[in-house]
């Protein structure tokens, strides 16, 4: 069946949105990657899905390299095309996926940035405890470090998701998979201190449309990931420290658990990782930290 790449990509994106529950950000990235390929391949006269073969894809990867895209970006763009072409095979628009086995630049995999336990504790204690924003920020930092949430998971929390008496929190993770997590005693105390008068004062600043949201912005709406990142950067700058993102607290949560002897599969469950291999990066971080301590401390190192 002859089909233009534009029509195939439109159908693929609609199916991805409906069937895979992808975030708007991911869908926008998919769309941008595909449109870039369509523009490039159109200049070659390749407008039909059946005309895309391994040689065309190799030339496209080479073109991206010439444009000085990073290896990670090239890998992502190739992965997007592979997914679209795989979908086309499944729906009988192609007999086989020409992107299978396509050679792309190997990615460097730097170890995640991890705070020392003392630095993570100090960061959680930086926000003031005598105003609404400070109390909110303390609660956010304690939950990020104490439970290892992704920033999107944290921003999606509602009041009903938190039980400070039982010290548990209900999280909706990737793929809309729900998991129940413990929260630390400091996090429970910080949430209790925030969600009373402090939270009400923030809610009153808005129009109460986000009355269910746990963490609110200064204007009374649900706090978003960008606001959380800006907040963390503000406190890090106030200490003259290098800025970190919210994910560094998640990395620190996992690494400090493993440092303390936690089971890898338990950490996998807490983080909400689909595959154990994703969690294993933290064993490398933990090993590197132990090696550094050994080389610094042992007289024969």
Contact 156, 150 (CB under 8 A): no
What 13-18 contacts at long range (C-beta under 8 Å, 24+ apart), as own/partner pairs, is 15/87, 16/83, 16/87
Cα separation, 221 vs 126, in Å, equals 24
Query: Would you call 298 a catalytic residue per the annotation?
Result: no
Which has the closest alpha carbon to 35: 64, 10, 1? 10
CATH 1.10.150 fits 5-90, yes or no: yes
Contact 85, 99 (CB under 8 A): yes
The whole-number pLDDT of residue 81 equals 92
The active-site residue out of 150, 195, 199, 222 is 150
Query: Would you call 273 a catalytic residue per the annotation?
Result: yes
Query: Would you call 235 a catalytic residue per the annotation?
Result: no
The whole-number pLDDT of residue 207 equals 63
Give the CATH superfamily of 117-296: Intergrase catalytic core (1.10.443.10)
The whole-number pLDDT of residue 168 equals 95
The whole-number pLDDT of residue 293 equals 61
HSE-CB of 1 using CA atoms within 13 angstroms: 10
pTM, rounded to two decimals: 0.65
88 by DSSP, 3-state: which? Answer: helix
What residues contact 151, with CB distance under 8 A and at least 6 apart?
144, 225, 228, 229, 245, 246, 247
Cα separation, 3 vs 143, in Å, equals 49
The whole-number pLDDT of residue 209 equals 67
The whole-number pLDDT of residue 1 equals 45
The active-site residue out of 174, 179, 189, 229 is 174
| Domain residue extents for the chain | 5-90, 117-296
Per-residue DSSP letter, 218: T
The tokens of 130 are what? 């005598």
pLDDT means per 10 residues in the chain (301 residues)? Answer: 74 84 82 93 89 91 89 89 91 88 71 86 94 96 95 95 95 87 95 93 76 90 93 89 87 90 90 87 73 66 52
Query: Would you call 229 a catalytic residue per the annotation?
Result: no
The whole-number pLDDT of residue 300 equals 62
The active-site residue out of 138, 195, 222, 250 is 250
Query: Would you call 150 a catalytic residue per the annotation?
Result: yes
């Amino acid at each position: 069946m002859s089909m233009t790449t534009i029509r195939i990509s439109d159908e693929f994106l609609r199916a991805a949105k409906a069937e895979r529950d992808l975030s708007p950000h991911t869908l926008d990235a998919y769309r941008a990657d595909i449109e870039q390929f369509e523009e490039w391949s159109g200049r070659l006269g390749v407008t039909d899905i059946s005309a895309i073969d391994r040689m065309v894809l190799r030339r496209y990867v080479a073109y991206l390299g010439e444009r000085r895209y990073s290896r990670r970006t090239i890998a992502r763009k190739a992965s997007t095309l592979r997914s679209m072409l795989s979908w086309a095979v499944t729906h009988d628009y192609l007999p086989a996926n020409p992107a299978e086995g396509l050679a792309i630049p190997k990615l460097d995999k730097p170890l995640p940035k991890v705070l020392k336990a003392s630095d993570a504790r100090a960061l959680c204690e930086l926000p003031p405890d005598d105003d609404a924003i400070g109390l909110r920020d303390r609660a956010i930092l304690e939950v990020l470090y104490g439970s290892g949430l992704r920033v999107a998971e944290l921003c999606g929390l509602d009041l009903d998701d938190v039980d400070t008496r039982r010290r548990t929190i209900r999280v909706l993770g990737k793929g809309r998979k729900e998991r129940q997590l413990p929260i630390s005693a400091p996090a429970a105390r910080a949430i209790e201190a925030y969600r009373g008068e402090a939270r009400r004062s923030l809610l009153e600043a808005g129009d109460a449309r986000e009355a269910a949201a746990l963490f609110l912005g200064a204007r009374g709406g649900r706090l978003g990931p960008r606001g959380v990142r800006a907040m963390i950067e503000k406190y890090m700058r106030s200490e003259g420290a290098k800025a970190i993102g919210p994910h560094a607290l998640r990395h620190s949560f996992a690494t400090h658990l493993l440092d303390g002897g936690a089971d890898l599969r338990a950490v996998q469950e807490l983080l909400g990782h689909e595959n154990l291999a994703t969690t294993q990066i933290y064993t490398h971080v933990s090993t590197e930290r132990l090696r550094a301590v050994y080389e610094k401390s042992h007289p024969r190192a």
